[in-house]
Structure 1
Amino acid sequence: MRDSSLSALFGALSNEMRMSTIANNLANVNTTAYKKDTMAFHDVFTRFAHDNVVSTETYLRGKEMFPDPKIMAKTRLAEQQVDFTQGSLQKTGNQLDFALSGEGFFKVQSGEDVMYTRAGNFLVDANGVLVTQQGDTVLVDGGPLVLPPGATLSATSGGTLSINGEPAGSFDLATFEDLGPLERAGGNKYLAPEGAAEAPPGDLEVQQGFLEKGNVEVVTEMVEMLETQRAFEMYSKMLTGTDQLDRNMILRLGRIT
């Protein structure tokens, strides 16, 4: 197979994955506190031995000692990460809606795992427990928060809660020095890798009666979608053209033999 075919193949596959990521971002544009995925690409160069020679010496007759470098690029997906930049805040007036302003997460109990989320559109289940939209328990001082029927819940900017004016604990808030290793766990939650140490949130504030919107910019994503589609079409044409060259070569060789 020609090197051009390999380069085009890897380029097309990389852009196909990029298109899937963009589509997922657009599908979650209205998801509370959704954080978009970003992707980066780089070229993996196949180098010949003389490409690593940096000497500028020449022969006595002034000719270059080595030929020009011949480098073949094969596009690769370098990384895919979650962009945790702050989303805008939308006022709802609901006492069970909470938005985080700054870097940090609410801690929730999901089965046997402690997970992290920025989606503060909480509910009260049949037992009066404060839970997420997926039914995970919102952790307050390490445990559940039970609200009596018709109770008034209020929160300070520091996350301290009170029920009907009586102290009821504080949201368990946390962040990490490096947010990169956090993994999506579905339901707008994140799971910390084993051994990751929590860090106390610095300038994090809790805003009651607000929700954080997703940080997806529709116009930007649409522009990237068009760019990705054109790049994919370009790589497809490269594959088709290389395939046609190979076919012509085989036909000519067949006639000669």
Structure 2
Amino acid sequence: MGFNVSLSGINAANSDLSVTANNVANVNTVGFKQSRSEFADLFSATSYGLSRNQVGSGVRVSQVAQQFIQGNNEQTGRGLDLAISGEGFFTLNMNGQRVYSRAGNFGTDPEGYVTNPQGARLQVFAPSADGTKFDSGRLVDLRLLTTDSPPKQTTNVQVAFTLPANAKPPTVNPFDPADSNSYSQSSGGITVFDSLGVSHTQVSYFVKTANANEWTVHNYVDGQAVGTPTTLTFNGSGALTNPANGKIPLGTFAPGTGAGQLNMTLDITGSTQYGEKFALRNTHQDGYAAGKLNEITVSETGVVYARYSNGDDKALGQVALTNFNNPQGLEQKGNNVWVETFDSGTPRTGAPDSSNLGKIQAGALEHSTVDLTEQLVNMIVAQRNFQANAQMITTQDQITQTVINIR
């Protein structure tokens, strides 16, 4: 009986050494979670009717428990390296099977899909058409766009200015954009875009009238008049009173590039008449030319953006994180991935930084949670346990030999 007890101790110590060796071997594995051996004592019968003086039957490894603690996130500077700060797992599609991982060392395959080194595709919530919302009920493979960003036609031009209150009417009449003596001020050239992304120049010319607090604005695109001259009026405090909504229709303009007609509105809301000098405070228009892909960025909430040279940002999806009631119940499948089991509970998938899910840190990786010093100490302890149980077998062998030799 004593031999079996000591043998169970040797087996338990050997298992402990194996767990420690696996931890040490994975000290540099991205997203690795260290494990520990947990032991339970053995009895040869049930507890019913046992004598309180009964000696146990040894030890066994009750489980090898994974330790799901946060590892250190270290910056790598690589855009597709992702780390989770907090709870949750990346959700991956491996040949149709849903798997989970803490390792965020992602890359792209020949088709542009974002994958881990083994080819499992990163799952994201699909974006809406305008990229402002995400369908939390539909997971798709994240695929990076490699095409150019299409141009957007200008529909709204915003100009905020201050006209001089002491201005005099021009000395030349009628208005002629080629003669600076026929107008008081101009907005300068504002670049606008047609439906093909070709740029055009829009200019507003301001002519002071003989009436107090009254101006006329003439609008041109590429030297061609658009819309009709519009009267601007200001009150005694310098605030714009006409047009009441601050918007001036510019009519249509045929670009002559094969693009569709430009139909724009000039928004001068907030413009004023103060002081003695003209000031152009702000200009903005909502169009842009075609753009080249500059970079892929990921926000803390997991939104993946394609950023283009024309300033356009396109949301490609939102990284889906998954958590479990009992992460220790997950089954390790190697290659830094886990699969759900009955013990882990039902997976709960959601957006980063929501519920109890962590944030995404882009350009970083979560390192292994293995503390090498701790593991070396565990190795020494397990070795001593192995030696002690082996010595116990030697001692029992000597006792047995002595009994056999009794005559």
Q: Give the corresponding residue for 2:387.
A: 233
Asked if residue 29 in structure 1 is aligned to residue 27 in structure 2, the reply is yes
- 1:8-19 counterparts in 2 under 5 A? 8-19=6-17
Q: Give the corresponding residue for 1:212.
A: 366
Q: Distance in 2 between the 1:136 and 1:225 partners? A: 35
Q: Distance in 2 between the 1:131 and 1:178 partners? A: 26
CA gap 1:49/1:144 in 2 versus in 1, 3 angstroms: closer
Q: Give the corresponding residue for 1:62.
A: none
Q: Give the corresponding residue for 1:176.
A: 324
Structure 1 unaligned blocks of 5 or more = 53-68
3-state SS, counterpart of residue 107 of structure 1: strand
Asked if residue 185 in structure 1 is aligned to residue 183 in structure 2, the reply is no
Instruction: Work out the percentage of aligned pairs sharing the same amino acid.
Output: 28
Q: Match for 1:167 among 305, 309, 315?
A: 315
Residue 42 of structure 1 deviates from its aligned partner by 2.5
- 1:1-257 counterparts in 2 under 5 A? 3-45=1-43, 49=49, 51-52=51-52, 69-141=53-125, 142-149=139-146, 152-164=295-307, 165-194=313-342, 196-199=345-348, 200=350, 202-252=356-406, 256=407
Q: Distance in 1 between the 2:50 and 2:93 partners? A: 58
Higher relative contact order (CA 8 A, sep 6+): 1
TM-score by length of 1: 0.85
CA gap 1:115/1:50 in 2 versus in 1, 3 angstroms: closer
Do the aligned residues in 1 keep the contact of 2:90 with 2:321 (CA within 8 Å)? yes
TM-score by length of 2: 0.55
Q: Give the corresponding residue for 1:55.
A: none
Aligned residues: 235
Q: Distance in 2 between the 1:221 and 1:193 partners? A: 28
Q: Distance in 2 between the 1:110 and 1:196 partners? A: 20
Residue 97 of structure 1 deviates from its aligned partner by 0.3
Do the aligned residues in 1 keep the contact of 2:24 with 2:375 (CA within 8 Å)? yes
Q: Distance in 2 between the 1:221 and 1:87 partners? A: 16
CA distances 1:158-203 after superposition (whole Å, capped 9, x unpaired): 1111112201111121101111210101101000015931224524
Which shifted more, 119-128 or 37-46? 37-46
CA gap 1:196/1:70 in 2 versus in 1, 3 angstroms: closer
Q: Distance in 2 between the 1:81 and 1:156 partners? A: 33
CA gap 1:203/1:146 in 2 versus in 1, 3 angstroms: closer
Q: Distance in 2 between the 1:138 and 1:110 partners? A: 9
3-state SS, counterpart of residue 329 of structure 2: coil
* One-letter amino acid matched to 2:143: V
Q: Kindly indicate which of the two structures has a greater share of residues assigned to strand.
A: 2
Residue 249 of structure 1 deviates from its aligned partner by 2.3
Do the aligned residues in 1 keep the contact of 2:321 with 2:357 (CA within 8 Å)? no
Which shifted more, 95-104 or 106-115? 106-115
* One-letter amino acid matched to 1:8: S
CA gap 1:151/1:185 in 2 versus in 1, 3 angstroms: farther
Residue 245 of structure 1 deviates from its aligned partner by 2.1
Q: Distance in 2 between the 1:144 and 1:40 partners? A: 39
* One-letter amino acid matched to 2:95: G
Do the aligned residues in 2 keep the contact of 1:48 with 1:71 (CA within 8 Å)? no
Structure 2 unaligned blocks of 5 or more = 126-138, 147-292, 308-312
RMSD, aligned CA: 1.9
- Structure possessing the higher radius of gyration over alpha carbons: 2
Q: Distance in 2 between the 1:100 and 1:152 partners? A: 21
Q: Distance in 1 between the 2:92 and 2:124 partners? A: 9
Q: Distance in 1 between the 2:400 and 2:55 partners? A: 22
Do the aligned residues in 2 keep the contact of 1:48 with 1:70 (CA within 8 Å)? no
Q: Kindly indicate which of the two structures has a greater share of residues assigned to helix.
A: 1
Q: Distance in 1 between the 2:48 and 2:321 partners? A: 53
